[in-house]
Structure 1
Amino acid sequence: MADDLQKGLDDVLVAESSLSYIDGDAGLLAYRGYDIKDLAREASYEEVLYLLWRGELPDRDALDEFATELAAERAVDESVITTLDGLAAADERPMAALRTAVSMLSASDPEESDPDDLDAALRKGRRIAAKVPTVLAAYDRLRNGQEPVEPREDLGYAANFLYMLDGEEPDDVAAETFDMALILHADHGLNASTFTGMVIASTLADTYSAVTGGVSALAGSLHGGANQDVMETLLELDESEKDPTDWIRDAIDNDRRIPGWGHRVYNVKDPRAEILTEKSAELGENSGEKKWYDYAATIEEYLTEEEQFPEKGLAPNVDFYSGTVYYQLGIDLDMYTPIFAMSRVGGWVGHVLEYQEDNRLIRPRARYVGPENREFVPIDDR
């Protein structure tokens, strides 16, 4: 057994997966062999869920059946709404409310948990994916003193979520943009939250436990919170009324960290950020308010100058533009990470199912560096 220490498990292979492939030097992300740019521009989130969970893209009939089954599972038990109302009254953070609600969802699941029944695990995953948007939209409305909006089965996954947020059916640009954002965030290899879910599933815990663990891991600021941080930074820039170039120059001179910049895997611009750059600009043009895109683009242009960051690996990641997209869709800042979770459920469930096909308990070890050969002293003699 090797004794080399890899803090943070950097570059340590712990599993094989056919879900997503990342080339950090080329700026490539693919789901089951399909380039993320093709999927984001041509597919729907429902198609991507089908692909991640079943291995192939569906034909029209298969997609219609899958989307119908998914839409039919959107409603949540009244006990969940009651709990969300209590959490809203306590001003709980949305990610914490989501964590609680996902754990509660198992109580109303009609199937028993059987670690050997992967088909049942997939159905449970489908129910979670269907209900998470309902949970999030209901919580956002409850904390704002509004009644939850019932989900509609005649709307797509992305459009239905936006509808439940404000009670109005979104226009095509908004629905398409949000659908694209969900696709881009659906999976990304063995990131911290996915690996957390896999560790939990490797104990033969159920899908609800694994997804609850994924939500908990994603809540940390080093994983899922950068998109909110980016938008807060841009709002600060806007309030300063400074020229964006002057503002970012001052920030760098003061050794300020710019959120949404750099990635653990990519050494070039995140391919997901490339797509969201386009959508941020499109939303600005559609609304007649381009300043949020312009701010981000100005910062990107300044930071990519050779004299600023000559080393590799410092380029915009997916969070750098997703914040501007969500903000232009009218979504509250602290909902950005929960939306990330809503999308990433697809990847969490896919990896759990894949790993449990040939399950082995994940059990790494730590190198002991504590004291040795200590003599025990009875408590009265200490």
Structure 2
Amino acid sequence: MSDELKRGLEGVLVTESELSHVDGEAGRLVYRGYDIEELARGASYEEVLYLLWHGSLPTRDELDSFSASLAAERDVDSEVLETVRTLADADERPMAALRTATSMLSAYDDDEAVESRGETIEQGTRITAKVPTVLAAFERARQGEAPVDPDPDLSHAGNFLYMLTGVEPDTVSEETFDMALTLHADHGLNASTFTAMVIGSTMADVYSGVTGGIGALSGSLHGGANQDVMELLYEIDESSKDPVQWVKDARDAGRRIPGFGHRVYEVKDPRARILEDKLRDLSDSSGDRTWLDYTTAIEAHLTEEGLLEKGIAPNVDFYSGSVYDSMGIPMDLFTPIFAMSRVGGWVAHVAEYQEDNRLIRPRARYTGPESAEFVPIDER
């Protein structure tokens, strides 16, 4: 047994997985062998879920059946929606509201325990289907609006946008949002996925694992960078400065530019490349190129400054925030949407790990006193 200390489990292998692989040097992401760009551009989020959960891309009949089963689970109990309204009235943070409501969903699921991969996937299907309903209802409640019932005839992506606004999305928005869900579905053993997997290793129900994943994702060092990017872009816009000059001044003042750098990628995140293209499509559709011009100018400037040579390149958050904002999605929903997508990956990792389960139980190096003399309380 090694006593080498690896803070943050840096470089430690804890399991084997067939789900996703991140090649940081090449800037490549694959799900079960399929390049992320092929999946994002050619497959729906439902197809990607099927791939992650069942090991292969579905046939047309398999996809139709799978999509129908997912859509059939979208309804959420009225008591959960009432709690969501209460949280909105209390001005709760969206990620905290999502965490609470997701945990509450288990009260209305008759199958609490999971004893097989099939039961894990079935429970995961119900959670994956209901999380968008919860999140859309929370935003509607914040706006003083009643929740919109899910439409079983719409896709996972299209239905969420419909429940959020009450209006069926246009083709560009639905395709873009579907692509964003695919891009965020899985990404190796990141902090939230590992959290869900640790919980799953105890054979806790899937609600516990997903709730834990949401909690991990809510931290500022994991989720939320796309919101930071948007806040920066709005700050630049309000300053009326040239974006490159603004960034120069900010860096001179010691400010960090969010959306650059990644724990694994040493080159541009492949998901950022894809979302940059979709931001172009949205900009062309709306006629507003503001965020596209700002982000591409900033990326070009920082590239010229040599950041890429230091392994610091745009990550997925640098463009995802602009994409969501272009669709009219509030900034503080960006990370909950990340969670909504990543639920699929969390479920996949829990199901995979439980097939050859071993309780995850690392050690800590003890650094406390070797011997302490106990003194009774009346003598202290």
Q: Identify the TM-score tier after normalising by the shorter chain.
A: over 0.9
Please give the secondary structure, in 2, of the residue aligned with 1:304: helix
1:15 aligns with 2:15: yes
Q: What are the within-5 Å matches in structure 2 for residues 17-166 of structure 1?
A: 17-114=17-114, 116-166=115-165
Report the Cα offset of residue 338 of structure 1: 0.2
1:106-139 deviation per Cα after TM superposition (whole angstroms, max 9, x unaligned): 111132413x222111111001000011000000
Q: What are the within-5 Å matches in structure 2 for residues 101-250 of structure 1?
A: 101-114=101-114, 116-250=115-249
1:302 aligns with 2:309: no
Paired AA for residue 260 in structure 1: G
Provide the rounded CA distance (Å) in 2 between the counterparts of 1:67 and 1:204.
27
Task: Provide the aligned C-alpha RMSD in A.
Answer: 0.9
Report the Cα offset of residue 255 of structure 1: 1.2
1:318 aligns with 2:334: no
1:229-284 deviation per Cα after TM superposition (whole angstroms, max 9, x unaligned): 11011000000000111101001111101111100000000000000010111111
Report the Cα offset of residue 308 of structure 1: 4.4
Provide the rounded CA distance (Å) in 1 between the counterparts of 2:31 and 2:307.
30
1:259 aligns with 2:258: yes
Report the Cα offset of residue 310 of structure 1: 5.9
Q: Which residue in the other structure is 2:275 paired with?
A: 276
Report the Cα offset of residue 144 of structure 1: 1.0
Report the Cα offset of residue 362 of structure 1: 0.2
Query: Aligned residues, how many?
Result: 380
Deviating runs (4+, > 3 A) in structure 1?
none
Paired AA for residue 119 in structure 1: G
Paired AA for residue 107 in structure 1: A
Q: Which residue in the other structure is 1:6 paired with?
A: 6
Q: Is the 8 A contact 2:95 2:218 kept in 1?
A: yes
Structure 2 unaligned blocks of 5 or more: none
1:148-203 deviation per Cα after TM superposition (whole angstroms, max 9, x unaligned): 10000000110110011110000000000000000000000000000000000111
Provide the rounded CA distance (Å) in 1 between the counterparts of 2:228 and 2:53.
31
Report the Cα offset of residue 377 of structure 1: 2.0
Alignment TM-score, normalising by the size of structure 2: 0.99
1:326-350 deviation per Cα after TM superposition (whole angstroms, max 9, x unaligned): 0000000000000000000010000
Return the match for 2:359 from 355, 358, 361.
361
1:343 aligns with 2:361: no
Report the Cα offset of residue 313 of structure 1: 2.1
Please give the secondary structure, in 2, of the residue aligned with 1:223: coil
Provide the rounded CA distance (Å) in 2 between the counterparts of 1:52 and 1:310.
32
Q: Is the 8 A contact 2:21 2:188 kept in 1?
A: yes
Q: Is the 8 A contact 1:70 1:126 kept in 2?
A: yes
Paired AA for residue 88 in structure 1: A
1:372 aligns with 2:370: yes
Provide the rounded CA distance (Å) in 1 between the counterparts of 2:38 and 2:320.
18
Q: Is the 8 A contact 1:267 1:315 kept in 2?
A: yes
Provide the rounded CA distance (Å) in 1 between the counterparts of 2:357 and 2:311.
34
Q: Is the 8 A contact 2:201 2:358 kept in 1?
A: yes
Identity within the alignment, %: 67
Report the Cα offset of residue 311 of structure 1: 4.3
Bigger CA drift: 324-333 or 100-109?
A: 100-109
